Chain A
Amino acid sequence: MFIERPRFSCPLGGAMATVNALPGAVAILHASPGCGGNSNVAIMAAAGNMGSGYCGGASVSASGIGEKQIVFGGSDRLVEQLETSGEVLEADLFVVITGCTAEIIGDDINAILAEHRAKNLGGPPVIHASGAGFKGNSYFGYDSVLQSLFKQFLVPGRTRVKGKVNLWGIPPALDVFWEGNLIELRRVLEGIGLKVNSFFTKEDTLAEVKAAGEAELNLVVSPVNGVAAAEVFKHIHGVDYLVTDLPIGAKATAEFLQTVAQRLGLDQAAVEGFLHREKEVYYHYFSRLSDSYADLDLQRYAVIVADTTYALALSRFAENELGWLPKLVAVTDPCEESARPAILQRFEQGLSGHTQAVVFETDTSQISRRLFERWPKPDGTKYYQAFSPAFVIGSRLDKEFADSIGAGHLSVAYPISERVVLNRGYAGYRGGLHLIEDLFSVVLSNR
């Protein structure tokens, strides 16, 4: 089915953003000349102006295959580009990402890489990740790079180290707050005594990524992103995984940490001690808003428009911490019919009236229609109950809709072109406080 204004790009775009976020890693595209340039706009401008990073943007190495290679094959061009990339670029790891054209013509990437490795012993490792556009969307690209790392880069056969966990499920760029989220989740997991490998933050190193096979457990903080990669990890390295929602705010984060602690059999008293301290600090700040909330009636009807991971996390946060009323929760990434019951069940755990509120809707212009299927349209009567006061927590694409219903609007989900995001995160305790600051700053912006 076609999609109107989809909120993601292709596997190549997702893979590129993922590789760019990996410390010391450099992407080499084996694709049409403009695939990188096109995807770059989606990464650099639409992900909170995160920019080109170390070797993104126009610096991305690319074979740029054209008509000639589509007819005669692109292998020679890739061999040449691999060779010269090693001469020009400073990399600890090269990741070849194949696009649509390369995968349709069927260049034998494995053979090319094997030959390249044999010729360049001692050079930086080179792995391959599929990025063909027709295989899915950018979430798939994230998963694809993770799978390639687990299959081709991690050292196999490492012995388990107790208390070590890998953390993923937060795709760089597609989660605009990825780095802040990972840093905060690292912090709280370390707080309950774990050693955390989160791959993509400034605190991670490629050496640690390589040793990820020695973890006791893999934590995937998304019911969809990176779950397939977790299966691959389990199959190859024998490490089990735990899938959770993305925790935002004190309640969700405490629940998250308790689940992890229970699964790993951590010392209950120590964990509770940490949770208690964090809770104290969190509600110390949380209560600062109480005067304004009470004086100005800051409860809102909420519309949440986001991908599965954020839709779950934001609707729970809005309902449980803000005391808002999520009346429409639109899940915007494609979700197979067969996967929907499991997702809806997750909504049930944190959201009252979820069966009425949650819809799977990929098309931007249809969000408005979906709301007024659930809320009566103005009917001209004196006592029409307006959908007001309301707030839309969505992406940049939902601003016009928010304006049309007179609601406040904050972009939290991708794409976000109108905000600058450096290390801000919304996950965890500190993230929950950031989200409160940002949401109510919009509400009170005319004060």
Chain B
Amino acid sequence: MSYLHLKVPPTRDVRLKPCNAFGGKLCGLVDGQKQGCLTGNGRTFAQTTGCQLTLSMTMAASIPNTVVIYHGPVGCGASSLGLTGQAKLSQLARGNVDAVGRVWMSTNLDETDVILGGEAKLEAAILEAERRFRPHAIFIGNTCVPAIIGDDIDNVATRLQDRIHARIIPLHCEGFKTRFVATAYDIVYHGILRYLLNGEEERQPVLRDEAKEREYEVRSKRTVNLLNVGSMGYVDEVELVRILNAIGLEANVYPCFTSPEKFVKVKDAALSISICATHDDYFVEHLKEHYGVPYVLNTIPIGTDNVRLWLLDIADFFGLRQEALKVIEAEEAELNRALEPLRAMFRGKTAFVSTGEIRAGAQACMLERDLGIKVVGIRAHHYDQFGEIVFDHFKGREDVTINVAANQPFEQVNLLRRLKPDLYLGHGNSNVWAAKQGVPVLPIYGPNNSYLGYKGVFEVATRLARLLSNPKYFNTLGETAKLPYREAWYGEDPYRYIQHTEDAI
């Protein structure tokens, strides 16, 4: 499927034709997607979503020793203002003692630039970024305005590349181009593939150490790329590496939080391991096609069922199934003993889950299978061909409400009023609206907490138990917070504003 010859990779809208608006039961979603019936869905009432620029630049900025330049009006980098401290924390957690947090610039386009073009400002910003910070890479995020007025950021990058040491990586992540924020992952991976992997070779030492080279070659056969686009916290990285080590594999984590000069080694790995198809399908497929690195992509290792599926996929590739089964058996037994005393608290409880499709399906499955909490509703930011396998546990379940929406809290508040779950596990931006309805909330991902692997099951269980033992903060919110929705809205069909069109908004 290589798109690497293109300056601009296709959006998810075009490449995967996902669905971003659906309400109903799982079978309708799975079948509708297969038949291509849901691609055109939109909403006649909509609420603001994320921007692919925000996500692209957050991912790019997490790579140490980089500067990100927002080419656009000054507010396009606004999200950076709230993320400075976290960027530093994440780098510190991985032993980067020189962590400075996010370094970003804005070309600060004004009305004159809209008329005359903004390339000169971009050029000045790149040169100054090099002078001030001497970074390894400079990512340029193109925004709506320069895309409409026709600035050629690729040309600027090419023109300046010979003059500066940093690799200049243009990213075409204009917000208006896609309804699917996940396009951001493709954009950043595209930039890494085109500008960091292509042409960047590791320098060969003058005196070659043949013993070391042979060792590297041998170890490469048992070394895997573990992919993290930023949503996996350091504790999760440690847990997954632990599990991989247990079956005899070594793992390097890419691309977030890893210094770009190490990226060349991606090509030498025996296998790429994704924890989420929404993140990585573009990257792993290209790595396979261009560098012959095969991959596993089926599921996210959340909950024992999905950890098992994930690990066996990997083990099968290396012919280590028996070893993996032994590890699984021992880990599950140990985990079950630890979970047993907690399960009593979860008996009879219900939960609602809301986040990206892969995580949503797996986390919901974990709640039912590992903890015995009944899931009454699942929301996914979008739904595409990669979703079916993680929703497998819920096949045929008419009692589970399925909603596809990127945030759109108006649909969520309507659903929660009807379903009245005891717990809500959700993504940032949606969480607060459940909290204000009085539902105790556990954030479903976060850079400083554990979610993945066996450890993740236990950690989530203990956090949920803690939440249930004192939900008073949320109870109080539910009694006192005022939501902006009209009372009549709660009586309406929650999916009233979802429309099917041939040509989506």
Across the interface, do A64 and B111 meet the contact criterion of CB distance under 8 Å? no
Chain B residue, CB-CB nearest to A400: B100
Residues of A within 8 A of B49 (CB): 33-34, 36-37, 58, 62, 64
A67 within 8 A of B: yes
Residues of A within 8 A of B485 (CB): 88-90
Query: Which A16-72 residues have a C-beta within 8 angstroms of B?
Result: 26, 29, 32-42, 44-46, 51-52, 54-55, 57-70
Chain A residue, CB-CB nearest to B57: A38
Across the interface, do B51 and A35 meet the contact criterion of CB distance under 8 Å? yes
Choose one: B44, B48, B108, B113; the contact of A58 (CB below 8 Å): B48
B106 within 8 A of A: yes
Query: Which A75-126 residues have a C-beta within 8 angstroms of B?
Result: 77, 80-81, 84-85, 87-91, 100-101, 104
A417 within 8 A of B: yes
Chain A residue, CB-CB nearest to B67: A4
Across the interface, do B78 and A134 meet the contact criterion of CB distance under 8 Å? no
Across the interface, do A61 and B47 meet the contact criterion of CB distance under 8 Å? yes
Number of interface residues of A (CB under 8 A): 75
Query: Which B33-89 residues have a C-beta within 8 angstroms of A?
Result: 44-54, 69, 72-85
Across the interface, do B84 and A417 meet the contact criterion of CB distance under 8 Å? yes
A400 to B92, CA, bound (A): 14
Stretch at the interface among A7-15, A243-251, A260-268: A7-15
Across the interface, do B144 and A100 meet the contact criterion of CB distance under 8 Å? yes
Choose one: B114, B175, B409; the contact of A33 (CB below 8 Å): B175
Task: With A33-B176, A64-B505, A87-B486 as known contacts, state yes or no: A100 contacts B54, CB within 8 Å.
Answer: no
Min Cβ gap B184→A in Å is 10
Choose one: B106, B407, B497; the contact of A84 (CB below 8 Å): B497
Min Cβ gap B458→A in Å is 29
A69 to B108, CA, bound (A): 25
Choose one: A101, A135, A396, A397; the contact of B144 (CB below 8 Å): A101
Min Cβ gap B218→A in Å is 43
Chain A residue, CB-CB nearest to B100: A400
A180 within 8 A of B: no
Number of interface residues of B (CB under 8 A): 74
Chain A residue, CB-CB nearest to B497: A84
A137 within 8 A of B: yes
A22 to B4, CA, bound (A): 48
Min Cβ gap B130→A in Å is 12
Chain A residue, CB-CB nearest to B410: A88
Task: With A9-B81, A38-B78, A134-B114 as known contacts, state yes or no: A58 contacts B433, CB within 8 Å.
Answer: yes
B177 within 8 A of A: yes
Task: With A10-B78, A34-B51, A137-B74 as known contacts, state yes or no: A396 contacts B176, CB within 8 Å.
Answer: no
B 233-255 binary contact with A (CB < 8 Å = 1; else 0): 00000000000000000000000
A8 to B106, CA, bound (A): 11
A64 to B48, CA, bound (A): 7
Residues of B within 8 A of A269 (CB): none
A62 to B485, CA, bound (A): 15
A36 to B51, CA, bound (A): 8
Choose one: A41, A134, A138; the contact of B83 (CB below 8 Å): A41
Across the interface, do A101 and B497 meet the contact criterion of CB distance under 8 Å? no
Residues of B within 8 A of A38 (CB): 50-51, 53-54, 75-76, 78-79, 175
B171 within 8 A of A: no
Given contacts A38-B50, A58-B433, 5 further A-B contacts (CB under 8 A): A41-B79, A52-B432, A54-B484, A138-B78, A396-B85
